Amino acid sequence: MAAPFTSDFYKSIKDELFNNILPYWEKHARDTTSGNEGFFGAIDNDNNPDYKIQRSIVMTSRFLWTYSAVARLTKDARYLPMADFAYNTIITKYWDKENGGVYWSVLPDGTPKVSKKQIYGEAFCCYGLSEYAAALRELREGGESLPLAAAGQPSSATPSNGGNPAQLDSPRNAPLASEEAMNYALDIFNLLETHALDPEAGGYVEARDVNWSETNDMILSPKDMNCPKSMNTNLHVMEAYTNLYRTLPVVFADAKALRAEVGDTLASLVRVSVDKILQPNAHLGMFFDMEWKLLADEISYGHDIEASWLLWEAACELEDEELKSEIRDTVIRVAQVALDEGFDKENGCMENFLRDQGKVRDRTRVWWNQAEAVNGFYNAWEMTGDSKYSDACLKEWDWILNHQIDKKNGEWWNALDEKGQPILAEDKGGNWKTSYHNGRTCLELLRRSNNF
């Protein structure tokens, strides 16, 4: 397949990641105030942090994943201190030592603010922990995966065991750091399979109470519906399990059975996503009841294009040819419809959402939609060789370089209006906006093209 992407294109991707995104967050995201160690919950467009606002597990886990992933890709341990900072914050401030899992948000001093177990946040924590474990193994511990003793199977993290990660039965006095981090990730996996999985209708519920009992407080954010299940949560559980499946053998040499368990539940979730969440119009439904009845007609273009490549990534990681065959045409159709209906071809950017039976169209150019469009269209081009996808990818990247990046204060504008002007009421960084979406886009393209 003739590659439409030039060396200058990949150079600009690399430059954006290493000279803008990563150094920005290293400089501005961390609160090192004694007693408040963690990441700021809000950073304004002049790069001023809010020291008082609550902080989320999602933000912290996304930093953990990004800097671990960069360290692994580049084989450069200089990126690990940022990941170390995130990991220590999770274990000391977010980990629920009584019930297992992590709190949704904490105050700057680590006091739980919202203590419920929001499954979206648990998934991101599993995602970050598994990548960090692999980074530690490869960059600090020699790289050779280690035996997994019977006692090293993940605990259920019930109140009786204090929610602590399982200790390995080995000659060492204590598990290596990579084992400890991976066991935390596996504890979350076990907790989700025990308390959040719907064994009858499939998929995962939105939230549980602090002790993993049922709760009526399911809502993810003020922009979301208080409903039992959502596309967004299930999409990111799938993403987390894909990464857990990928990284387990990096840390443990004989985790075949455990990896098969993760793989089975991942394959099941891919099929639930295609059979229940995806709608006949090739858009992903957003909000559902327990039986997967759709509760709203909102279309999120960013989630559609993101899901197209995450579904394909999961099937490819599983090396399941039957599953790949089942979903291949669907994945391409989702990307095609996102291109046809959600992509502003004149300006080269992804729009936000459509709701109320098509009466309300939000043309805001949100940072993460743009990042996922680059990934999604690049993936569709790789799958098909069709130039319409590479053209869209290149146009989107051009939009980002010329409009989405804040050339004065660094990083990307959170959101631009349909005229391309920054919406200054939206913070530059914080509980939802980190190094994850745009950093991952750069990492994905550099990894796929072998240009890192």
Q: Could you tell me the pLDDT band of residue 1, with boundaries at 50, 70 and 90?
A: low
Which of 103-107, 142-146, 190-194 is predicted least confidently?
A: 142-146
Nearest to 232 by CA among 292, 279, 300, 289: 300
- 27 burial via Cβ count (<10 Å: 0-12, 13-18, 19+): exposed
Q: Could you tell me the pLDDT band of residue 302, with boundaries at 50, 70 and 90?
A: very high
Report the alpha-carbon distance of residue 234 to residue 327 in Å, rounded: 17
Q: Could you tell me the pLDDT band of residue 149, with boundaries at 50, 70 and 90?
A: low
Q: Could you tell me the pLDDT band of residue 330, with boundaries at 50, 70 and 90?
A: very high
Model-level pTM? 0.94
What's the whole-number average pLDDT of the chain?
A: 93
Query: Mean pLDDT throughout 225-245?
Result: 98
3-state SS of 1-21 is CCCCCCHHHHHHHHHHHHHHH
CA atoms within 13 A on the CB side of 254: 7
Query: Mean pLDDT throughout 176-197?
Result: 97
Tokens of 269: 């979730």
State the pLDDT at residue 366: 98
Phi-psi region of 130 (alpha: psi -120 to 50; beta: other; left: phi over 0): alpha
Query: Mean pLDDT throughout 269-287?
Result: 98
Query: Mean pLDDT throughout 4-27?
Result: 97
State the pLDDT at residue 35: 87
- 374 burial via Cβ count (<10 Å: 0-12, 13-18, 19+): buried
User: Between the CA of residue 359 and those of 204, 345, 356, 362, what are the distances in Å?
Assistant: 31, 21, 5, 10
pLDDT digits (tens, 9 = 90+) for 393-416: 999 999 999 999 999 999 999 999
State the pLDDT at residue 2: 59
Specify which residues 295 forms β-bridges with: none
Report the alpha-carbon distance of residue 47 to residue 45 in Å, rounded: 5
User: Between the CA of residue 201 and those of 184, 267, 279, 283, 291, what are the distances in Å?
Assistant: 27, 15, 16, 20, 6
pLDDT digits (tens, 9 = 90+) for 155-183: 433 333 334 433 333 334 567 999 999 99
* Residue 116 predicted with pLDDT over 90: yes
Give me the sign of the Cα torsion angle 47, 52, 56, 60. Answer: positive
Query: Mean pLDDT throughout 348-366?
Result: 94
Tokens of 171: 């000659």
* Residue 118 predicted with pLDDT over 70: yes
User: Between the CA of residue 106 and those of 94, 198, 222, what are the distances in Å?
Assistant: 7, 28, 18
Query: Mean pLDDT throughout 290-314?
Result: 98
* Residue 357 predicted with pLDDT over 90: no
Backbone angles phi, psi at 221, to 5 degrees: -155, 170
